[in-house]
Structure 1
Amino acid sequence: MTTMRQPREISVTEASRRGVAGLVADAEQGEDLLVTRHHRPVAAVVSASRLGEMEAAAEDLRDLALVLARSASDNGRRTSFDDVLAAFGHTHESLAAIEDDD
């Protein structure tokens, strides 16, 4: 699981002085950098593994939000697959008869 950590803030001027190689070296060592202009965040430099962790965490949060929304709106009523097929005018046999578009 991704842990929260405070990135080190650097100005655009300092980032320019460090150059891409310096910023990448910091990211490779696990340091998150927040590049600011006039004390406002404009960019972040993180390692590829850190980016992967953040993307996985975002996916987990989307899944959690879906579970919570479904849980909050669940009335206990369930609909069988056969009822859904019937509502759309199909049966198991009519679905099996549909040819694939391969």
Structure 2
Amino acid sequence: MTILRDAHELTVTEAAQRGVAKLVAEAEQGSDLVVTRRHRPVAAVVGMDRLAAIEEAAADLHDLALVLARSVTDSGERTSLDDVLAAFGHTRDSIAGLPDDE
């Protein structure tokens, strides 16, 4: 399974014959290349724009999973900031009086 669109597959030998410059040029033009060894994908060559899109999609999926997990486990109970501060022995005034770290 691959997340690359219409990826062109080539063997390690074919990739070596094309050379790095040709592979990079194809990736810059928007081609997704999957390099295989013994018919198994071992590497991908993609342009930076495509890589950024893949990373953004992965981050979005991570955020979505977090939202879904939180919505399933949310009891509806909320804790105020003042209650949290009190649990650690502070108040808003005591926090405001602390020196700034510089």
What TM-score comes out, normalization by structure 2 length? 0.93
Residue 6 of structure 1: how far off its partner (Å): 2.9
Q: Which residue of 2 aligns with 1:54?
A: 54
Please give the alpha-carbon distance, in whole angstroms, between the structure 1 residues aligned to 2:41 and 2:99: 54
Number of matched residues?
100
The code of the aligned residue for 1:71 comes to S
Aligned to 1:35: 35
Q: Once superposed, what is the RMSD of the aligned Cα atoms?
A: 1.2
1:92 matched to 2:92: yes
- Asked if the contact 2:4–2:32 (Cα under 8 Å) also holds between the matched residues in 1, the reply is no
In percent, how many aligned pairs have the same letter? 65
**Structure 2 counterparts to residues 18-33 of structure 1, below 5 A:** 18-33=18-33
Change (3 A) 1:23 1:4: closer
The equivalent residue for 2:13 is 13
Unaligned ranges ≥5, structure 1:
none
Match of 2:80 in 1: 80
Deviation at 1:41, TM superposition (A): 1.0
* Residue 45 (structure 1) shift: 0.1
Q: Following TM superposition, by how much is the alpha carbon of 1:38 offset from its aligned partner in structure 2, in angstroms?
A: 0.7
Moved >2 Å (runs of 4+): none
Task: Say which structure, 1 or 2, has more relative contact order (CA 8 Å, 6+ apart).
Answer: 1
Q: Quote how far apart the aligned CAs of 1:74 are.
A: 0.3
> Matched residues in 1 for 2:34 and 2:4: separation?
14
Deviations 1:21-53 (A, max 9, x none): 110111011110000111111110000000000
